[in-house]
Structure 1
Amino acid sequence: MKKISLFLITSFLVMSCQNQAQNQASTTKKTDFTTTKMEKQTIYQFKITDLNGNEFDFETLKGKKILIVNTASECGLTPQYKDLESIYGKYKDKNFVIVGFPANNFGGQEPGSNEQIAAFCQKNYGVTFPMMEKISVKGNDKHEIYQFLTEKSKNGLQDSEVEWNFQKYLINEQGELVKVLSPRVLPTDAAIVDWINGK
């Protein structure tokens, strides 16, 4: 009898341990899933300072399509400012906005201060779309908004790296990243215009 009782107690303990292990594994899986799901972010969480030193809250852009572009004043692609201003002028009343981020990450092609950049944009291209303060878009000091744009764990779409000045990121009306376009894709390209028009 003692042997049978000991066998039953041992069996019971082993089964209890197995059940506890399974429950812990199940809990861990749920926790991991929740964590992963929560990491996906939207553009609306960010507040930044614009070229004039004022706070810019992305939450104010809810319901709009947003084109984000890193800019530079002394780049071969700098004339894209003209096309950016052109499509902004055409579609700004149709729930579309462009947000520019001057950056000096490529060939030292944006050396100026925020004040100098603002003057350059106004004088040469009559820029009226929102321009933010100069930031870094890659490397160890990459700004948090570009961490969101370039890291799949945060944007939920894809990992990317900013290749050069004037790379474009398209954000939908829910604040989610939907497309990454290379610097050489012009702002007036069908890929952008069709997206703005919902085609």
Structure 2
Amino acid sequence: MQSNFIHRLVLLIGVLSLSITACAQSPQLAKTATTKAGETMSAKSVYDFTLKTIEGKPMKLDSLKGKVVLLVNVASKCGYTPQYTGLQALYKKYQDQGLVVLGVPANNFGGQEPGTEAEIKEFCTLKYNVTFPLTAKVSVKGADIDPLFAFLTDKTIHPTTGGDLTWNFNKFLIDRTGKVVERFASGDKPEDAKMTQAVEAALK
């Protein structure tokens, strides 16, 4: 009898502990979501956001003012990963005219970017000779979406180019004023005429 009572008491204490933990965590999660939403809603352009370099240093995107930026959510183990070759070629060709290719690693699709930042950097450098800037890994969709990608995919802010990312290697072309002017799907290759023409038009 006493044994049953003690057993039930232990179970009750366990349930209460879980409830208290959940209650303590929920406000923090809500606060994080609210902070991200607020940052997205107050932003006027990509220049209002900060990422981290792949080495972990702050990268304020307003440092790219006056540049044309091709921003790509990249992954190392994707069927589209060979597009790194075309992205590097595009960067090399137009870099002196003001083009910046910005690779943003993300593990949201198929777990195809599982490595650390150091591993990603080594892979891109050794296999594809990438010299364009890479950022630290971020989430590009879901509840933990990075504020920059919440901004880029918001259809209220960007009726033409907004909408959830569909896979790795979606590409956003951003003009010299920080405005998104084109969006390209995963299957659109950097060497495709429509992409090079759009880049050239933005560079004028």
TM-score for both structures, normalised by structure 1: 0.77
Q: Which amino acid aligns with 1:81?
A: Y
Over aligned residues, Cα RMSD in angstroms? 1.6
Higher Cα radius of gyration? 1
8 Å Cα contact 2:138/2:146 also seen in 1: yes
CA distance in 2, matches of 1:192, 1:80: 13
Q: 1:71 and 1:85, CA in 2 relative to 1: closer, same or farther beyond 3 A?
A: same
The residue number in structure 1 matching 2:100 is 97
Q: Give a deviation string over 1:89-140, Cα, whole Å, max 9, x none.
A: 0101101111111000111110001111011111100111110000111111
TM-score for both structures, normalised by structure 2: 0.75
CA distance in 1, matches of 2:42, 2:60: 20
* Structure 1: gaps spanning 5 or more residues: 1-37
Are 2:80 and 1:80 equivalent residues in the alignment? no
The residue number in structure 2 matching 1:24 is none
Q: Give a deviation string over 1:54-75, Cα, whole Å, max 9, x none.
A: 1111111111111110011111
The residue number in structure 2 matching 1:152 is 155
The residue number in structure 2 matching 1:187 is 190
Provide runs of 4+ in structure 1 moved above 2 Å. Answer: 152-159
* Structure 2: gaps spanning 5 or more residues: 1-40
Q: 1:101 and 1:147, CA in 2 relative to 1: closer, same or farther beyond 3 A?
A: same
8 Å Cα contact 1:40/1:156 also seen in 2: no
Q: 1:90 and 1:154, CA in 2 relative to 1: closer, same or farther beyond 3 A?
A: same
The residue number in structure 2 matching 1:50 is 53
Are 2:97 and 1:109 equivalent residues in the alignment? no
8 Å Cα contact 1:150/1:158 also seen in 2: yes
